[in-house]
Amino acid sequence: MKVFDSKHIEKGWAAWWQHFKRAAGISVGFAVASIIVMVHAIVPFFLPEFASRYVERLYKELDIK
């Protein structure tokens, strides 16, 4: 895993903005999913399939791009 890669995205604001939106969306999704899964840990009958479905969705999203 690289810590710093100056060629990770193309140069320019448009490429940076697209990258920012995608990375921010994934980050927010992780944060929301974490809260839901924590609630599920306390109340096991609340959204019992959420975590596995979210991981599948995330895998497909990251595999496509």
Q: Parse the chain into domains and list their residue ranges.
A: 34-65
pTM more than 0.95: no
Neighbours of 31 (CB within 10 A): 10
Q: Is the pLDDT of residue 65 over 80?
A: no
Q: State which amino acid sits at residue 56.
A: E
pLDDT tens digits for range 4-63: 877 788 888 888 899 999 999 999 999 999 999 999 999 999 999 999 999 999 899 888
H or E segment and range at residue 49 = none
